Amino acid sequence: METSELLQLAIAGLKNGSIYALLALGFTIVYAATNVINFAQGEFYMLGGMFAVYAFTQFELPLLVSVPLAVLAVAGIGMLFETLAIRPRKDAEPMALIIITVGGSLVFASLARHAFGSDALPLPEFTAGPSFLFAGAAIERQTVWIWGIVLVTVAGLTFLYSKTRLGRAMRACMQNREAARLMGIDTARVVMISFGLAAALGALAGVAVTPLTSTRFDIGAGIAVKGFAAAILGGLGSPLAAVAGGLLLGLVEQAVIPFSSALKDVVALGVLLAVLFLRPQGLFRRARREKM
Amino acid sequence: MRYSIRAAVILALTFGVAITPFVMTDRYILRILTFVGINLIMVAGLSLLFGYAGQISLGQAAFYGLGAYTSGYLAKAGVPWLLALVGGVAVAAIGGLLIALPSLRLKGHYLAMATLGFGEIMLFFFTETESVTGGSNGLRGIPAASIGPLEFATPVAKYFLVWSVVGIVLVLAANIVRRRPGRALRAIHGSETGAQACGIDTVKVKIQVFVLSAGLGGLAGVLYAHYVGFVSPSTFTLHYSLILVTMVALGGMGSLGGAVAGTVLLTLLPYVDAIIPGLPRSTVELIQDWTNDIYGMVLILVMLFMPRGLAGWATSLVARFGGRDRAGGSVHQGGGA
């Protein structure tokens, strides 16, 4: 295979991987605050794209207004979901919360079908124009947007965690929620904001990718599995590990394409099972004694 | 007195199931009721695994598919139905064993994701291994079930075949949950360490219940394949696995009777028109259009407001009204109706 073809695969891998990274960050943030895996995370991705398409086509808002509006709206839905469906279950029994988020994923997908129909909906690229050429490989403008969004997100999260009061509260909850509450941190608020933040990141990924793939009411579950595979690869701990997990998964997926393009879709599932069965603490962490 | 109520309900239900084909001759209704039976076998397995032992599975559809494809493939190759059935159940059970062994140290959402991933991988293989499964076109022309000269070709015969198996499976499951193995499952649900301290070999019990529930899934798949005569990947989706979980959750964790009630209610939901004949067309279409929303809302609302499901609700109802009634006669009538 020629170098330019390899480079093209690597670019596609880093593009998809960036999307998985944003989803993995969503899983990681919610898990840190609540010890819950949010099975509805993929629906936030779907809703992000849907809302942006809706604002752009129905209200005829400019794209660069539609996109942030969609992300904010989904963040609101994430917080509302936490308030109405997660928080009332006071004992926070993990199995019950899993089932609640599974139910949420069914409801979100189904409501989206009622609201937006069952067709695939397209969105134009954020900035129109020809692809960039780099050493014989083409980079779509939207791909550059996706990379930019991931970079800004990582920088923003780093700032949030290290420099702000809220970020410190979130890190305290991550270490020990009960102790954080005793120190006077409003843990209920931290949990709600974590859900909102995770929903916003999911929506951001969905909006960013819709110009390339279009969106449909039923794409949430499939992408959630990939995002979770990336999150578990990173070990569900630090945000940077989640991003690394996402990029790695994207690259591995592209690496199998020269052998069999049909296999690409099953790579994430294989990675997911392999990591869960062999190294449930993720690639970058030492094993803990307790059972997962 | 609780036992006499239960006996009366079971007798009445058995009688109802037995006479239905003679009272309702409508093929459509028989077909729906046969699907209720097939779902009951699936849910009996999931109830033992998830409802009793607390081991969540979001991949039951995979075992359903393994049973259906194996048996359909064998029967098309000329293997007698009973042997094809054994093959289907065995392959599904082996699938259960393969997922059980590495899952032993996983809990909660890790187990949920692992079983979900397994289900999706199996769906991928059902779609991609075209030479065996027919790919997305599916496997056509699967012969009806037959034992020697006895062929289950008519809708009524198929109905009785499926419901006979349902009866056997439910009796078996009820025996498991009432006796020592059932107590072991509940102990694992409560606390694995505690169960071990009581002398329960938790590893062995967890593998057994995984394999049993997978085998029951395979059995349901076999019956499905020879009932419909056609299997395609679109039947064995994550969506189906989630509906099965909804049935168990609605019925109540740790209650076989509840799981049965949940299965009957949720299976019939999209077919309300067949059950309540006078319903306006628009209402039926509305319910069908919102079926998935209802399933999802049921999951959320049950977990929030009715964590013990229909079974918990029925228990408190019996406790309230049954306790006051000395003779218990009116309760019998209420329970049997």
* Cβ-based contacts of B303 with chain A (< 8 Å): 89, 96-97, 99-100, 103
How far apart are the CA of A241 and the nearest CA of chain B, in angstroms? 18
Inform me whether the pLDDT recorded for A287 exceeds 80. no
Inform me whether the pLDDT recorded for B333 exceeds 50. no
The model's pTM: 0.90
Are A280 and B304 an interchain contact pair (Cβ–Cβ within 8 Å)?
A: no
Query: What residues are paired with A138 via a beta bridge?
Result: A133
First to last CA, chain A: 42
Amino acid at the residue B217 = G
Mean pLDDT along residues A186-213: 94
Q: Are A45 and A23 spatial neighbours (Cβ–Cβ below 8 Å)? A: yes
| pLDDT of res. A214 | 92
Q: CB-based contacts of B153: which residues, under 8 Å, 6+ apart?
A: B144, B146
Q: Between A40 and B336, whose confidence is greater?
A: A40
Are B106 and A107 an interchain contact pair (Cβ–Cβ within 8 Å)?
A: no
* Residue pointed to by tokens 């218990």: B328
Going by pLDDT thresholds of 50, 70 and 90, the confidence category of residue A288 is low
Helices (H) and strands (E) in chain A, counts: 11, 2
How far apart are the CA of A90 and the nearest CA of chain B, in angstroms? 9
What whole-number distance in Å separates Cα of residue A23 and Cα of residue B306? Answer: 32
How far apart are the CA of B121 and the nearest CA of chain A, in angstroms? 7
CA distances from B232 to A15, B91, B271 (A): 33, 18, 22
* Cβ-based contacts of B304 with chain A (< 8 Å): 85, 88-89, 100
* Residue pointed to by tokens 């899983």: A27
What whole-number distance in Å separates Cα of residue B117 and Cα of residue B24? Answer: 41
What whole-number distance in Å separates Cα of residue B23 and Cα of residue B37? Answer: 18
Which tokens is B312 given?
């918990």
pLDDT-above-90 percentage for chain B = 55
Torsion angle of alpha carbons B280, B283, B289, B294, nearest 10°? -140
Judged by average pLDDT, the poorest of A14-23, A124-133, A256-265, B46-55 is A256-265
Judged by average pLDDT, the poorest of A24-38, A205-219, B65-79, B314-328 is B314-328
Are A262 and B128 an interchain contact pair (Cβ–Cβ within 8 Å)?
A: yes
Mean pLDDT along residues B200-217: 91
What whole-number distance in Å separates Cα of residue B8 and Cα of residue B13? Answer: 9
Inform me whether the pLDDT recorded for B59 exceeds 60. yes
Q: Is A144 on the interface with B (CB under 8 A)?
A: no
Nearest to A292 among B105, B118, B295 (CB): B105
| pLDDT of res. B1 | 52
User: B66-78 pLDDT, tens per residue?
Assistant: 999 999 999 999 9
Mean pLDDT along residues B186-203: 83
User: A144-195 pLDDT, tens per residue?
Assistant: 999 999 999 999 999 998 899 988 888 888 888 888 888 888 888 999 999 9
Are A292 and B304 an interchain contact pair (Cβ–Cβ within 8 Å)?
A: no
| pLDDT of res. B228 | 94
Inform me whether the pLDDT recorded for B327 exceeds 60. no
Write down the mean pLDDT value for chain A. 90
pLDDT-above-70 percentage for chain A = 97
Inform me whether the pLDDT recorded for B336 exceeds 60. no
Going by pLDDT thresholds of 50, 70 and 90, the confidence category of residue A284 is confident
Are A110 and B105 an interchain contact pair (Cβ–Cβ within 8 Å)?
A: no
Q: Are B264 and B36 spatial neighbours (Cβ–Cβ below 8 Å)? A: yes
Amino acid at the residue B139 = L
Going by pLDDT thresholds of 50, 70 and 90, the confidence category of residue B331 is very low
Q: Are A239 and A28 spatial neighbours (Cβ–Cβ below 8 Å)? A: yes
Q: CB-based contacts of B138: which residues, under 8 Å, 6+ apart?
A: B230, B231, B232, B233
A176 burial class (0-12, 13-18, 19+ CB within 10 angstroms)?
A: exposed
How far apart are the CA of B204 and the nearest CA of chain A, in angstroms? 18
Judged by average pLDDT, the poorest of A17-21, B174-178, B241-245, B299-303 is B174-178
Inform me whether the pLDDT recorded for A136 exceeds 50. yes
Which tokens is B265 given?
């209610």
What whole-number distance in Å separates Cα of residue B202 and Cα of residue B184? Answer: 8
What whole-number distance in Å separates Cα of residue B20 and Cα of residue B30? Answer: 8
| pLDDT of res. A258 | 82
Inform me whether the pLDDT recorded for A291 exceeds 80. no
From the list B213, B236, B240, the residue with the least C-alpha distance to B295 is B240
Q: Is A96 on the interface with B (CB under 8 A)?
A: yes
Which tokens is A11 given?
């670019």
Phi, psi dihedrals of residue A110, rounded to the nearest 5°: -70, -40
Q: CB-based contacts of B288: which residues, under 8 Å, 6+ apart?
A: B270
Q: Give CA angle at A202 (A201, A205), nearest 5°.
A: 85
Judged by average pLDDT, the poorest of A221-225, A240-244, B279-283 is B279-283
First to last CA, chain B: 17
Cα Dmax for chain B: 66
Going by pLDDT thresholds of 50, 70 and 90, the confidence category of residue B2 is low
Interface of B with A (CB under 8 A): 54, 56, 58, 102-103, 105-110, 112-114, 116-118, 120-121, 124, 128, 238, 242, 245-246, 249, 289-290, 292-293, 295-300, 303-304, 307
Sign of the torsion angle spanned by Cα atoms A246, A252, A257, A261:
negative
From the list A175, A174, A256, A231, the residue with the least C-alpha distance to A9 is A256
| pLDDT of res. A121 | 94
- Cβ–Cβ contacts within 10 Å for residue A62, how many? 9
